[in-house]
Structures are given as structure tokens and as C-alpha cells.
Amino acid sequence: MTTTPRWLSESYGPGGGGAGEGILRHLDATELDPLTLLVRESAQNSWDARSGHGPVDYRVELRTLSPAEAPVWRDLLLENAPTTEHLQLRASLARSVLRVLTVTDTGTKGLGGPTRADVVAEGDRDFVSFVRKTGSSQDLDSRGGTYGYGKVVFHLTSKPHTVLVHTRCRVGDRLETRLIGWAVHTSYDTDTVEGPKTFTGRHYWGRVQDGYVEPLVGAEADDVARKLGLKALPEGETGTTVAVIEPEFGDREDAEAMRWIADAIVWNLWPKMLPEGGDAPMRFSITHNGTEVRIPRPSEVPHLRPFVRAHGDMDVLIEHKTMKRPLGRLGIRKFIAPPGKPPAVAREAGIGDRLHHTCLMRPVDLVVKYLEGPPFFEDHGGYAGVFRADDAMDRVFALSEPASHDDWLVDGLQDLDERKLAKHALKKIADEMKAASGPAAVANNAGDGVSLAGMSKMMAGLMAGAPGHGGSAVFPTTDDTRSSSPAGGHPDAGAPNPGDAGSGAPARPTAHGGRGARLRYLDEPFHDTVDGRAVLVQRFELVDTGEQLVRSRLAVALNDAVGREGDPPRGASVPTVLGWRTEDGELHRADELHTDGGDGRVWSLVVRPAPDTVTEIVVAAERKGGDA
């Protein structure tokens, strides 16, 4: 005969134990928002528990219990519940509207192993580690962290600090479902029928026996979970659902909170979402009262996109040469700053209006933090880096992390060699960011370096990053420039002409058309917007009089900043001419410009650059009707 599951408050034993308030305060050092912390810690636990048979599915759902469901929760969870003085659960269950936030993972092992902490057993001890123990260390191989203190974030998110854990795991050659409740509050003294006693502040709900609480198991666990409205795990699969009773979102409305969770997933877990639309190691979903909350792809988020690009080319080896130890790999991308401000989740992570950061990761590909570097030398530019620690350094960096796993506190490492290696890695990352923050050199067609310093809006060589951004001009270097036919491409560049009369400005490059028409670049290319999209603009003046035909040559500069890519790969994006703009702002949308020169008018070539490229711009003019 079974009895109704009920609560049992944990009393101190003769040897003492951990107080609930100490557990709740252990995450106080972090400045992360509780919802961000919930996403980071729960997803990390889910990844650690992966079964290895496929991707991990991670689902967050917020729902308001229906009038038929709420009484079931009250009936089941009020049995022998602690007084409101010692736990706020009774007050929460008395509310007219009861809400539950669930975090579910599948493709994971579930919480298996013994259900008692005093049982010695080989193999998994996940149930004991998650439910019974707090702050226990785990084998760090291939893990994002431990079940230590981070799991307490579930209780911090709950107003009564109360959760239910519903899991299916493998026990031997069979599957077993388990259901248990767990609350954490503050320790207290009170009178009992046995006399005055002291309690830890931890309370458990389930099958009470022999002075402690066992989980409901098997058919009983499935039946009670079904009555509570907890979604059943797919048939034959293992996994875990943690139900947070009466989630606390501070000043946020529920819809705002779920939007925050979606942004927190993207900014903290984006490496697990790659490749996008393919076989990503984790799949994420959010629902709010049955309606899906969209989670954007990382590459769709303007301020995150440069990090995604940097992740794809981590080609810089960070190593300690004298100790002959690889420490990790680094990729850095430079780019034109995306418009607007980053979302609040990113600002919480330390990213301001300008990007000059490196995302730190261990080999498990979970974001630890965004390390700030020196600002980029141009206000409208930036850089983004990604550092992934070497497998051999995983344990070292893991040991340096606080309970919230959001920093590398390498000065606290006890082993001197490990401390030296970790500090060296951070120093080399800082050196690379410092190098990325300054002006670079690009090459013109003659191979001579051209410094970007002083070219306030010319960002040659720095534009790989955000789609729709990027560009440069490669200035002319020969006097023998000839115009090509439209079918044969575009003209090469001409030579600077410092002696050009009437320029009224320092020497500027001048391009010569095949029929002798001359034009003068008035300044460096600069960035603008047309119809809400980023463009590059090159201003110029036609020097010679008479009717002229003006064409452009657009190309993608290669990564070595010397060559150019005239014929793009099949399907690749290419820079395109949007048109020619007059001084009064009128845009003539055409590939070529037919106009008169020599009248002092200033024209602008408006170009839409190809995503993630450096765009080469050359403008050339030719007389119509004969050679000069």
C-alpha cells in the first residue's frame, strides 16, 4: 500500500552539515542576472549529462497552471509542508495564479546511480550529486563544470526556493523514472514532538522512509508527474525536467523574462548552436503558455556575428614555448561596428557600445566570459576574438573558475606551473587584442604598404565581420592605366598626381581613362547607409571637360592584402554598384555614369560591399567621342 508523498525537513545530525543560507549565498559573487545564470548552469549540466547518441535537446517552458491543474499541485505539495516562516511554499501555492518554469533536457542520461548519498557504488552518481550533495567535486574530463553550487540557481529562481526533479535514467538493463521535490531556505531551530531541534533549511518531498526522503519511482512517478502536468519524456528516452515553482523574474513581465532567456541562450551558448541549421551539438527551444519564443541564429545577431566569424578561423596558436605546452587557439576578426546597441544580455556580459572583446571558452565550447581588450583605434571599428583552450588545459582553467563558471581566476591556482601556463595564455590573448586594436597596413597594387592611421574612415583589411559591412580603396600606382570594356572587367588604377593644378588639397590619386579623361578622388571611402543598409561611398571629381563615361572596378581583396579576387566562387556574394549620387543627394541607380566633367561637381560612387570581405574600389572615366 502506498502513501501520499509528503515533505520532510532535514535536521542536523551529530556531525553537523551545511546550512541552506550558505548554499544560497554561494553564487552571490557573480554579477550575472539570475536568469542568465539559470541558462548557463542548467545548459552546462545538460551538456555534461549527454548520452553520446546524438544532439542534446534543451527546452525551457513557462506556463500558467489551468484551474484544473493548480488544485492538484496544492493537494500534492501541501502535505506536511513546512510553515511559511521556514519556507514560502505555502504562500506561493495559495496564490490565485500559479506559474511553473520547466527546464528539460533529452539526449542525456538522466539522473542515475544511487538515490542515497551514503551508498558506495561504481559508475554514475548523478542523482546524489544533483539532489543530495552540494559543492562536491566531479571528474572534470569532458565536463563543463560540476554539479557543485551552480544547481542552486534553480532554487534562486523560485520565489519559495522550491523545485521538482523528474528524471528517467537507466538502472542496469532497464529504464527507471524518478520524481522528487527539493527546497532550500535558511536554517532554523524549532520545537518538535521530540523536543527542540535544529534544521539545515533543506526540505525534501517524496516517499518518506527511515528518516529521509526517497524519490517516487516507476509507475508511481509517472502517474504523479502526469497529474502535475509535467510533460512525459519521449518513449524509451532518458533525460531530466527540473520544474521551478513560482519563478521570480524581478521587475520583468513574463514575456520579457522569456525574451531575456532567449537572448541569454544565444549569447552564452552560441558555440553549441554551430553549425547553424545543421548537426549542431545542442538544440534549443522556448515556449510561453504554448507559444514558441523565437531564438535567433547567432549569425543573425549583429553584435554577436563577428564572434561567430572569429570562431570559424581560430588559426593563431597560443603556446608557452619554453615549457613546450600548447595552451589554445585564437581567432580574431576586425569589422565595422554594427549599428545600434547590443542587447541587455550582452551589456551584462561586459560588452558596451563598441566591440573589443575575446570570448573565452574551454574545450566544451561553453562561453566563460567576454574578455575586454583595448578599444579599437577607430570609433566606428572593432574586433572580436574567440579563444578555445587546449584539451590539456581544460582541467587547469576549470579549477580557476568560480561557482558560477563565469571567469578564469588564474591567480588562485595552487600549482605553480599551472598558474604560470594559465597566466601566460591570458597575457598572449591580451597581446593579440592589443595588436588588433591598432591600425594595420594594407598593400596597393605595387605592393607598397599603406598605413591606415590618419585615414579616418578607410578600414581596408579590417572589414571581415558583419554582413553588409566592409571596404577599402586601393589607390592608383601606375601612369599606364587603360580602360577595359564592360565585358573585359574594369580599368586598373592610375597614379597619384600631386601636381594637378587647382586641386586645392593635398595630393590625391588620379585615375586616367583609356581616352584621357581624368578624375580625382576627394577623400577616402567612407561608410553610409542607403535604404537602411550599409554601403561604401567614394567621392570624386571629374577633372576634364566634356561628355564622359564613368565606370567602377570592384573587387574583393584577398586576406594577404596584396592580391584581389576578380572572379568569385560560384554562389559567393560580390560587391555591387548601387548607383551614383550627386551633391544634393539624388541617387542615379545605374552601373555606369554618363555626365559632363570639368564643372567642379562632386559625385559619389555608392557600393554595397560583399559580406565578410575587404572591397577594392577603383573609379575611372573616359571621354566620349574620341581620345583627348
HSE-up (13 A, CA, CB side) for residue 576: 10
Residue 562 pLDDT:
39
Burial (CB count within 10 angstroms: exposed 0-12, middle 13-18, buried 19+), residue 579? middle
The pLDDT tens digits for 249-290 are 999 999 999 999 999 999 999 999 999 977 899 999 999 999
Q: What is the residue-wise DSSP string for 234-286?
A: PTT--EEEEEEESB--TT--HHHHHHHHHHHHHHHHGGGGPSTTS--SEEEEE
Burial (CB count within 10 angstroms: exposed 0-12, middle 13-18, buried 19+), residue 506? exposed
Give the number of other CB atoms < 10 A from CB of residue 64: 13
Instruction: Name the residue among 236, 375, 358, 235 with its Cα closest to residue 307.
Output: 358
Provide the phi-psi class of 546: left if phi over 0, else alpha when psi is between -120 and 50, else beta: left
The pLDDT tens digits for 504-542 are 222 333 343 346 688 888 877 777 778 877 788 899 999
Kindly give, in sequence order, each residue whose CB lies less than 8 Å from that of residue 139, ignoring residues fewer than 6 positions away. none
Give the number of other CB atoms < 10 A from CB of residue 593: 19
**Which residues of the chain have a pLDDT value below 70?**
1-2, 13-30, 134-150, 440-516, 557-572, 611-614, 625-628
Mean pLDDT score across all residues of the chain: 80
| pTM of the predicted protein model | 0.71
- Sketch the domain layout of the chain as residue ranges: 6-300, 305-437, 457-623
Strand partners, 480: none
Widest pairwise Cα distance in the chain: 112
Gap between the Cα atoms of 317 and 295, Å rounded: 33
Beta strands in 37-125 (DSSP E): 56-64, 99-106
Residue 188 pLDDT:
79
The pLDDT tens digits for 158-192 are 999 999 999 999 998 899 999 999 998 888 788 77
Q: Does domain 6-300 have CATH number 1.10.260?
A: no
**Residue 166's Cα: distance from chain center in Å?**
29
Residue with cell 590618419: 454
Residue 560 pLDDT:
38
Gap between the Cα atoms of 160 and 24, Å rounded: 12
